[in-house]
Every structure is written in C-alpha cells, then in structure tokens.
C-alpha cells in the first residue's frame, strides 16, 4: 500500500470520526433544547392547568390553545371522558379534530357561532350552544358525571385574548 493512500484513508477515518462526534454533540444539544422547550410549554400559564375538582369533576384551563393543534394535544393527553368547551368565532378547519372528538369527547359546549360545531354533529350525541363562558361552565357542570373532565380549550382566538378568557373561565369555575 502506498504511503499517500494510507494518509488519505487515515484522514477519511479521522474526518468520519470527527463528523460522528459532532453529530452526537448536536443530537445531545438538540435533545436538551427539546426537553427544555417542552418543559416550558407544559408549565405555561393557562396551558393544561387544573383549576379545581368539584364533586368529582375536574376543570382544566387550556386557554392558550388558540388553534386546533394545541386543542388536539390537550384532548389527546386525557384518558377520561371529556366535556369540551370550545371558543367563539373559529377561522380554522376543525375537521382534523374529528377522530379525537369521536373517541374522547362526550359533550361539546360551544361559546359562539353554531357553524363551529358542524364537523362534529355526527361525532358526539350532545352539542350545546351558549352565549358566554360563564354559561358554558355552568352547563358543563350540570351535564358532567363524576370522573369526567371539563376542558376549556378554545381552538381559536388571539394571544391578546388568552388571559381575559382564562380569567373568565377560572372565575366561573370558582363560582360553582
């Protein structure tokens, strides 16, 4: 074997080793970043926050769920039967939620436009339209059974509305 070929082979091995080491460090760094990101995400205020358990019914504030993907994540994370309080004017396509709604949601309470619930008409037996969040919480409490979870996860809205909506939900729950 010629000496120059040995040097080329050795460099190739060295560069491959360096690339593998750099890739390992990058993956480790990304893993740490992802863990931190998801820790921050799940600890966010008004994101999957348990407000109270009243007479065996759990109330969860997920006001930060201002799009269907965030609502899907919330609904998927629960194992018990759900009463879902959804938001007002929805500009998103909610059909992506249909399989989860079919499997996990017993009742939908809609605070707003009745067309929001159109994709779910054949998926749940009960859809109730109300005019405000206080009425939604009271209705959910009346219909809920022990062991069920009432989730306020609007699937629509704007960031500037999150705190106001969350505070209204929390106040209504605390007034039960």
Rounded mean pLDDT, 69-93: 86
Provide the token pair at 154.
């609007």
Query: What pLDDT is attached to residue 152?
Result: 94
Element containing residue 106 per DSSP (H, E): strand 105-111
pLDDT tens digit sequence for 119-161: 888 899 899 999 999 999 999 999 999 999 999 998 887 778 8
Of 95, 34, 97, 37, the C-alpha closest to 65 is: 97
Query: What pLDDT is attached to residue 1?
Result: 45
Edge-to-edge strand order for the sheet containing 82-86?
Answer: 49-54, 57-61, 149-152, 82-86, 105-111, 126-130
Q: How many CB atoms lie within 10 A of CB 15?
A: 10
CA dist 108 and 98 (Å) reads 12
């Amino acid at each position: 074997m010629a000496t120059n070929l040995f040097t080329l082979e050795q460099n190739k091995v060295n560069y491959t080793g360096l690339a593998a080491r750099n890739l390992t460090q990058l993956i480790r760094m990304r893993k740490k970043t992802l863990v931190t990101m998801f820790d921050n995400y799940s600890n966010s205020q008004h994101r999957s926050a348990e407000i109270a358990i009243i007479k065996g019914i759990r109330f969860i504030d997920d006001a930060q769920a201002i799009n269907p993907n965030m609502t899907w994540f919330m609904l998927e994370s629960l194992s018990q039967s759900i009463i879902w309080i959804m938001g007002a004017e929805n500009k998103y396509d909610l059909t992506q939620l249909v399989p989860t709604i079919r499997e996990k949601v017993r009742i939908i309470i809609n605070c707003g436009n009745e067309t929001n619930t159109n994709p779910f008409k054949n998926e749940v037996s009960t859809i109730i339209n109300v005019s405000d969040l206080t009425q939604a919480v009271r209705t959910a409490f009346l219909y809920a059974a022990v062991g069920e979870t009432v989730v306020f996860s609007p699937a629509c809205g704007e960031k500037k509305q999150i705190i106001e909506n969350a505070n209204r939900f929390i106040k209504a729950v605390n007034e039960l």
